[in-house]
Amino acid sequence: CKNLLNFGSTQCSGRVEVFYNNSWGTVCDDQWDIMDAQVVCRELQGCGTAIEATSSANFGAGNNNIWLDDVSCSGNESSLTDCPHRGFGIHNCDHGEDAGAKSFELCHLCLTDGARIKLVGSTLCSGRVEIFYNNSWGTVCDDDWGIIDAKVVCRELGCGTAIEATSRAYFGAGNNDIWLDDVSCSGNESSLTDCPHSGFGIHNCNHGEDAGVNCTDGARIKLVGSTLCSGRVEIFYNNSWGTVCDDDWGIMDAQVVCRELGCGTAIEATSRAYFGAGNNDIWLDDVSCSGNESSLTDCPHSGFGIHNCNHGEDAGVNCTGDADVCWNKICKN
């Protein structure tokens, strides 16, 4: 199956359509939310992060089959059709309920030359380093590859500190282009592609020399709600997402979250599971930010997993959502 976004103002916004049984068809908006849109945006490569999950044929009504209904993604799936759904062609909808998505690249992942980065491995924070450039993913050669280069990668991905810079295709060999060679970072760069290198596609390597990293798996953050910049606060720690308890939760904590996500200024710090209750771990409690921290996990708290809460106390935020300015003026799709 293939997916596309149809009839939107950009290549990364529009009505979601799925190619199945030799024809394109739409997706019904029953249970459609930001996690489903997130999977779509990621699957389309180059469309970054979901801003909004649209419903009620916001991008116009389709006129072919309705292929999917009751889609319920966790957000980790590699394809929309991997998400639970009723079955292809099984639905109780009409095209007035066609689902859509709006996407954009978060500013801290957008580089001036259009390159992006990911790790291919067993976890989000360890794996073979790959760069997205010229509309395709490619690897990095291990010539001159060291811990300073790895530190830049880990920081860029929000994965804490580098433990190890791996070489000789430790995480397996890639099979596409080799984009970078002779990378030599000082350690202060905000992106790997800001480091000195031989030039995109210029190398004397093979995939047996693919470079990788092991990072400390620093905590990461997301909002689970109707838009990218409002929702229940969740932290990625110890290989799983978990919530934040609302004890002592206030506007200064929300301010740190909004700034960390590139979502402008905090409007509101919500409590009592305002955006719905989570169902995984509760990672943080008694958070008390001064407002100057660069990350929520830098703020004083009780310790990861130490709390006296239940999910009825899950904390959330509403942010101004200034990040969409970055999509129009800075980021490249």
| Average confidence (pLDDT) over 157-178 | 88
Q: Is residue 331 part of a domain?
A: no
Q: Which residues 6+ apart lie within 8 Å of 303 measured at CB?
A: none
Q: Which residues 6+ apart lie within 8 Å of 7 measured at CB?
A: 14, 15, 59, 60
Q: What does the alpha-carbon distance between residue 276 and residue 258 come to, in Å, rounded to a whole number?
A: 19
Residues 139 and 83 in one domain: no
Q: What is the pLDDT of residue 3?
A: 56
pLDDT at 229 over 90: no
Banded model confidence at residue 111, pLDDT cuts 50, 70, 90: very low
| Helix (H) / strand (E) containing 97 | none
| Helix (H) / strand (E) containing 41 | helix 34-43
Give the tens place of pLDDT for each residue, 314-333: 999 988 764 332 222 223 33
Q: What is the pLDDT of residue 252?
A: 94
- Domain hosting 44: range is 2-104
Q: What does the alpha-carbon distance between residue 274 and residue 96 come to, in Å, rounded to a whole number?
A: 29
Residues 94 and 30 in one domain: yes
Q: What is the pLDDT of residue 105?
A: 41
| Average confidence (pLDDT) over 182-211 | 93
Q: Is residue 329 part of a domain?
A: no
Residue 238 or residue 167, greater confidence = 167
Residues 56 and 96 in one domain: yes
Give the tens place of pLDDT for each residue, 18-36: 888 778 889 999 999 988 8
CATH of the domain at 26: 3.10.250.10
Q: What is the pLDDT of residue 12?
A: 72
Give the tens place of pLDDT for each residue, 44-80: 755 666 778 889 998 889 888 999 999 999 877 878 9
Q: Is residue 333 part of a domain?
A: no
Q: What is the pLDDT of residue 161?
A: 79
Residues 119 and 209 in one domain: yes
CA distances in angstroms from 131 to 119, 166, 192, 311, listed in the order given? 9, 16, 9, 38
Residues 33 and 11 in one domain: yes
Q: Is residue 161 part of a domain?
A: yes
Examine the fold and report which residue of 160, 191, 215 is the final residue of a domain before the chain moves on. Answer: 215
Q: What is the pLDDT of residue 242?
A: 94
Examine the fold and report which residue of 163, 188, 215 is the final residue of a domain before the chain moves on. Answer: 215
Residue 11 or residue 66, greater confidence = 66
Residues 100 and 130 in one domain: no
Residues 166 and 98 in one domain: no
Q: How many domains would you assign to the chain?
A: 3
Map residue 152 onto helix, strand or coil: helix
Share of the chain above pLDDT 70, in %: 84
